[in-house]
Chains A and B, each alone.
Chain A
């Protein structure tokens, strides 16, 4: 598969609303969650603009509010022994894994200033990632009834969102160079559609290139002007 980081689009000066981009680097799940909640509160009160937090978590398995324990293939203690944290959390969706080599994005968005439509929001997040992957020559798309971003080789990005008074939290996780074997802790192997990553598809792009592509794509899809903090 070809892999070329396309030169960035010429910046167009617009009067689009501002979105602050914060790349937090590696951060533990609990810390990032606390930070998200602070930003959500401040966003609700109109103290800050929309945010896009980008982070990479150490190995962690998280279970959504509607998650089913049977989708976790081993006991939480066993995860801990393998050096994987386990958290129950308040986002939508079931169980998922985050870890090194994955770009996790947490948009803190006030949907009242966008479309007031939670499903349109999820579809837009998918579009952001589909467009970003296209920059690297990776064809990706949607699968009916399976939120997330899919390639012919499997699921490449997961989405799970929480909304409180139209302000979003949680978001997406894009596998760039994730060690995919960790997904085996949560879905029965041999029964699952495979999970894949940009690296597994032959793309050697580094993290910064992908973050930049995601941010560009995000700006286009949501019509926001990104400002890196």
Chain B
């Protein structure tokens, strides 16, 4: 069996993502025939097989990022030698023979290969810093026994320290020990066949027990199997482009605008009653159901007409007042969100708005939106109430200057004319850019929306 390793595709490269196996276990492969593909920083590379043979086993699954020189699979080259075979005469650069036993290899009983600490390290998740390697060597630690808490399960200096402390302190269970601020995941000490790793958290007032002398014994080899059976502490997955864009945009927005959120309570009873009265016929007539959202949108467009600064953008030291009112509405997708835009929303009545909402939301989810349908928004609405949120503090959709969040509508007891009544109430949260909009204006705007909703007069059917 010949080990196939993750090749080093350049001096600076310490890891690669195995993206695709081009052969299945048991399939034959020619020497130099592409065997698998790796991805590093927008470069996809086909890796040819170092030898002819059959792919014996796959040790690194597709989508996994591993350090260079990690054994990713094994090829049965027909030589038939047991595990500790001697390396082939001149191993090609991408292949490494099965780790030779340190002493003269005697092809006797198929003893598990003795792996030197450095090689063990490669079996841990992710690359290791030189410091961690050095510490492990100096303290005689088998790194496969250490749970990494760094990115992708990498072992950090803190993990190693926690492991060292844990190893020596664990036998005396009672002794509280010094632990890092983060919870450390420490593998059990060698002797007891403990079922799983134990989680040790820092007690609130941890006593600083003097670190006991560090043991020098190397963990017995059979302990490795123990660790390998466990699931890794973390999983690394690249962000989708959409997720990256959302991340960029959110941080960009927070950095750009001076976010302030004001929350107003709105009595929706009048609209709730009207909706209850007409929703059956509305559904029958139009083929989609009537929600609270088009009412809020209608009130919002009227308020935007009254306070056009909320429908503007900042350009350097200029204010751009938009002629059109184009309402963006945040739509949650399975793995992200998108904000399609209802153009000239002020020209639509409740039916027209509800129709646009239903249409845009459904096409956003099936990814059928046209590019111009996600452009040129001048103000956004987010309806987190549909997920049960009472109120939230939304992030402004740049380059707009405000966003209105609609909380869930629920019946609550309220005091009306010194009597307790049951009313349908919701919270409207307006996040505005304080660079341009002062608190008074933000509140006037929201009060306008509230007043229109509470005194609703338009028929919807």
Residues of A near any B CB (own CB < 8 A): 64-66, 68, 70-75, 78, 90-95, 115-122, 146-147, 159-165, 181-182, 184-185, 187-193
Would you call B234 an interface residue if the criterion is a C-beta within 8 Å of the partner chain's C-beta atoms?
no
- Beta-carbon contacts of B313-333 to A below 8 Å, as 1s and 0s? 000000000000000100001
The answer to whether A64 touches B44, judged by C-beta atoms less than 8 angstroms apart, is yes
- Beta-carbon contacts of B45-82 to A below 8 Å, as 1s and 0s? 11010000000000000000000000000000000000
Would you call B254 an interface residue if the criterion is a C-beta within 8 Å of the partner chain's C-beta atoms?
no
Taking a contact as CB atoms closer than 8 A, the residue among B20, B43, B338, B375 that contacts A162 in the complex is: B43
The answer to whether B42 touches A190, judged by C-beta atoms less than 8 angstroms apart, is no
The answer to whether B19 touches A65, judged by C-beta atoms less than 8 angstroms apart, is yes
With contacts A73-B338, A73-B369 known, what are 11 further pairs, Cβ within 8 A?
Answer: A72-B367, A91-B44, A119-B40, A121-B10, A189-B375, A190-B328, A190-B338, A191-B242, A191-B245, A191-B249, A191-B338
The answer to whether B240 touches A68, judged by C-beta atoms less than 8 angstroms apart, is yes
Question: Complex: how many Å from CA A182 to CA B375?
Answer: 12
Taking a contact as CB atoms closer than 8 A, the residue among B9, B248, B371, B397 that contacts A117 in the complex is: B9
Question: Complex: how many Å from CA A117 to CA B371?
Answer: 39
Given A70-B333, A189-B374, A191-B246, A164 and B40 touching (CB < 8 A)?
no
Question: Complex: how many Å from CA A185 to CA B368?
Answer: 10
Would you call B32 an interface residue if the criterion is a C-beta within 8 Å of the partner chain's C-beta atoms?
yes
Most chain-B CB neighbours within 10 Å: which of A159, A160, A162, A188? A188
Q: Which residues of B contact A118 (CB under 8 A)?
A: 9-10, 13, 40-41, 43, 45
Which residue of chain B is the closest to A89 with respect to CB atoms? B44
Which residue of chain B is the closest to A159 with respect to CB atoms? B42
6 A-B residue pairings within 8 Å (CB atoms): A73-B371, A75-B366, A92-B39, A117-B10, A189-B371, A191-B337
Kindly provide the distance from the CB of A150 to the nearest chain B CB, expressed in whole angstroms: 12
Q: Which residues of A contact B246 (CB under 8 A)?
A: 188, 191
The answer to whether B12 touches A119, judged by C-beta atoms less than 8 angstroms apart, is yes
The answer to whether B44 touches A184, judged by C-beta atoms less than 8 angstroms apart, is no
Question: Complex: how many Å from CA A128 to CA B10?
Answer: 19
Would you call B11 an interface residue if the criterion is a C-beta within 8 Å of the partner chain's C-beta atoms?
yes
Q: Which residues of A contact B122 (CB under 8 A)?
A: none
Taking a contact as CB atoms closer than 8 A, the residue among B12, B44, B46, B245 that contacts A165 in the complex is: B46
Q: Which residues of B contact A146 (CB under 8 A)?
A: 244
For this complex, into which size category does the number of interface residues on chain B fall?
Answer: 35 or more
Question: Complex: how many Å from CA A188 to CA B372?
Answer: 11
Which 6 A/B pairs are nearest by Cβ-Cβ distance? A117-B10, A184-B371, A92-B44, A163-B45, A71-B241, A147-B42
Q: Which residues of B contact A185 (CB under 8 A)?
A: 371
Residues of B near any A CB (own CB < 8 A): 9-13, 19-20, 32, 34, 37, 39-46, 48, 238, 240-242, 244-246, 248-249, 252, 328, 333-339, 366-372, 374-375, 377, 397
Kindly provide the distance from the CB of A60 to the nearest chain B CB, expressed in whole angstroms: 16
Most chain-A CB neighbours within 10 Å: which of B43, B244, B338, B397? B43
Given A118-B13, A120-B11, A66 and B43 touching (CB < 8 A)?
no
Taking a contact as CB atoms closer than 8 A, the residue among A117, A159, A192 that contacts B11 in the complex is: A117
Which residue of chain A is the closest to B240 with respect to CB atoms? A68
Q: Which residues of B contact A72 (CB under 8 A)?
A: 367
Taking a contact as CB atoms closer than 8 A, the residue among A78, A120, A161 that contacts B42 in the complex is: A161
Taking a contact as CB atoms closer than 8 A, the residue among A119, A160, A181, A192 that contacts B13 in the complex is: A119
The answer to whether A70 touches B367, judged by C-beta atoms less than 8 angstroms apart, is yes
The answer to whether A181 touches B371, judged by C-beta atoms less than 8 angstroms apart, is yes
The answer to whether B367 touches A75, judged by C-beta atoms less than 8 angstroms apart, is yes
The answer to whether B369 touches A122, judged by C-beta atoms less than 8 angstroms apart, is no
Question: Complex: how many Å from CA A80 to CA B371?
Answer: 14
The answer to whether B19 touches A66, judged by C-beta atoms less than 8 angstroms apart, is yes
Q: Which residues of B contact A182 (CB under 8 A)?
A: 371
Taking a contact as CB atoms closer than 8 A, the residue among A74, A90, A184 that contacts B375 in the complex is: A184
The answer to whether B44 touches A66, judged by C-beta atoms less than 8 angstroms apart, is yes
Question: Complex: how many Å from CA A192 to CA B336?
Answer: 13
The answer to whether A188 touches B374, judged by C-beta atoms less than 8 angstroms apart, is yes
The answer to whether A92 touches B42, judged by C-beta atoms less than 8 angstroms apart, is yes
Taking a contact as CB atoms closer than 8 A, the residue among B245, B328, B369 that contacts A187 in the complex is: B245
The answer to whether B34 touches A71, judged by C-beta atoms less than 8 angstroms apart, is no
The answer to whether B41 touches A147, judged by C-beta atoms less than 8 angstroms apart, is yes
Q: Which residues of A contact B339 (CB under 8 A)?
A: 188, 190-191
Q: Which residues of B contact A90 (CB under 8 A)?
A: 44
Q: Which residues of B contact A163 (CB under 8 A)?
A: 9, 43-46
Kindly provide the distance from the CB of B335 to the nearest chain A CB, expressed in whole angstroms: 6
Kindly provide the distance from the CB of B244 to the nearest chain A CB, expressed in whole angstroms: 8
Question: Complex: how many Å from CA A164 to CA B457?
Answer: 69
Given A117-B13, A121-B43, A185-B371, A190 and B377 touching (CB < 8 A)?
yes
Q: Which residues of A contact B328 (CB under 8 A)?
A: 190
Q: Which residues of A contact B19 (CB under 8 A)?
A: 65-66
The answer to whether A188 touches B12, judged by C-beta atoms less than 8 angstroms apart, is no
The answer to whether A187 touches B242, judged by C-beta atoms less than 8 angstroms apart, is yes
Q: Which residues of A contact B374 (CB under 8 A)?
A: 73, 184, 188-190
Most chain-B CB neighbours within 10 Å: which of A68, A146, A185, A191? A191
Kindly provide the distance from the CB of B83 to the nearest chain A CB, expressed in whole angstroms: 30
Kindly provide the distance from the CB of B231 to the nearest chain A CB, expressed in whole angstroms: 24
Q: Which residues of A contact B40 (CB under 8 A)?
A: 92, 118-119
Kindly provide the distance from the CB of B387 to the nearest chain A CB, expressed in whole angstroms: 19
Given A117-B10, A119-B13, A181-B371, A71 and B44 touching (CB < 8 A)?
no
Which residue of chain A is the closest to B334 with respect to CB atoms? A70
The answer to whether A164 touches B42, judged by C-beta atoms less than 8 angstroms apart, is no
Which residue of chain B is the closest to A192 with respect to CB atoms? B245
Given A117-B13, A164-B34, A70 and B336 touching (CB < 8 A)?
yes
Question: Complex: how many Å from CA A190 to CA B45?
Answer: 33
The answer to whether A116 touches B10, judged by C-beta atoms less than 8 angstroms apart, is yes
Question: Complex: how many Å from CA A91 to CA B43?
Answer: 7
